[in-house]
Amino acid sequence: MKNKNLFIGIGIFIVLIISIVVIKNIGVKSNANKKLDTVFVATGGGKEDFLSDEKVIEIINKKYHINPVFDTWSNGKTIQKPLIRESIGLGNSSIVNDITNGKEYSVFNDNVSKYDALFTSDQRFYDYYKLSPNKELNEADRYTVTSGGLTLNTPIVIYSWASVVDALINENIVTETDGVYYITDMNKLINYILEGKKWSDIGLENLYGTINIASTDPVSSSPGATYYGLLLSILSGGQVTDENIDANLPKLKEFYTKSGYMNNTPADLFERYLKTGMGGEPMIVDYEKSMIDFANSSPDAFNQVKDDIRVLYPTPTIWNSHCFAVFTDNGNKLYKAFDDKEIQEIAFNKYGFRTGITGGNYDVKKIGIGIPKSINSTVSSLKMDTYNKLIDYLK
């Protein structure tokens, strides 16, 4: 009798185990076979590698059941052209032909391929897209933005070299705190450039010419425009107004003129900085993410230069913010996916993007160079009208 009860108990136990395994497998198969919602996103540049990362896509597919399609758009075209896939040659081929032949379409047409969201690479375009289109400037009709906000951040920094930074510390322009280098007197550095001071004037006898910070062209480059927006904010005491902008634009124009040749893309400038060294590019402006991305993608090359490179954080600095504007429920699902902790860790640890409004708190020790856990001293992004006035003046 005891043996019989024992066999019955073992049998029940085995049946329970098999049932649990079957139920789990059914759940896994059901989840795997769940139809993915395709979400179309008009996407500004600067984050292509991150958005195409296999692990990021896998998380979005499996956890959020979304198949994201990121179409490449320039920021300016999102304002001037109808935000439909046919505007960039995708979607309905007959409509693409119509547009090529001069026929006009808008986001209100039923037969066009519409977007679920807009992922700008500059906050000013996100803020501006939420406004009604200016028909006097021939701006296209827009979707209604239902939600969204800052999603990926990277601050403007200045890359330099150990000897240059040591000289700037002696000039009381740069301060080191906990292994991080801050430009604590940005006005003094700006004035050195405007006054035409030479590198030799601050003890760098091996560097030829005047002190300069290379940047991309603010007239044609979003990073360059962001940098000049920061300079304008600093010259204006942190708050740009209608009164002080007119007083400071001539200084920026002189600064722009003294800067000489400018690269059109930050990738080209960053490559020149690494390849030509201190003699070729003593100081350049770029995004913080560039160095973190370089450290992860080219560890051998990074290890060769990491002891000599320096990352300088202007005090204050300014965020380059990639902002997500939601148009549909599916767009909102994708927007929320970027709050996923695993996706955020990939964003910073592999590609150098900080997340959230304040840029988050990160473990930066493993990168091996002076990068702060958090960025606290920043100025707000300037509005579109202010940038337009600045760029028009520089032209």
Mean pLDDT across the chain, nearest whole number? 90
What are the tokens at 171? 């000039």
pLDDT at 357 over 80: no
pLDDT at 154 over 50: yes
Split at pLDDT 50, 70, 90, the class of 26 is very low
User: What is the tens place of the pLDDT at every residue in 293-337?
Assistant: 999 999 999 999 999 999 999 999 999 999 999 999 999 999 999
312 burial class (0-12, 13-18, 19+ CB within 10 angstroms)? Answer: buried
pTM over 0.85: yes
What is the mean predicted confidence (pLDDT) over 23-45?
Answer: 72
Nearest to 361 by CA among 311, 369, 371: 371
pLDDT of residue 28: 43
What kind and span of H or E run contains 231?
A: helix 222-235
pLDDT of residue 29: 44
What is the mean predicted confidence (pLDDT) over 115-143?
Answer: 96
Split at pLDDT 50, 70, 90, the class of 262 is confident
What is the mean predicted confidence (pLDDT) over 202-209?
Answer: 95
* 30 vs 148: CA distance, rounded Å: 31
* 200 vs 217: CA distance, rounded Å: 26
pLDDT of residue 336: 97
All domains of the chain, ordered by start, with CATH? 155-319+370-394 (3.40.190.10)
pLDDT of residue 261: 74
What percent of the chain is predicted at pLDDT more than 70?
A: 90
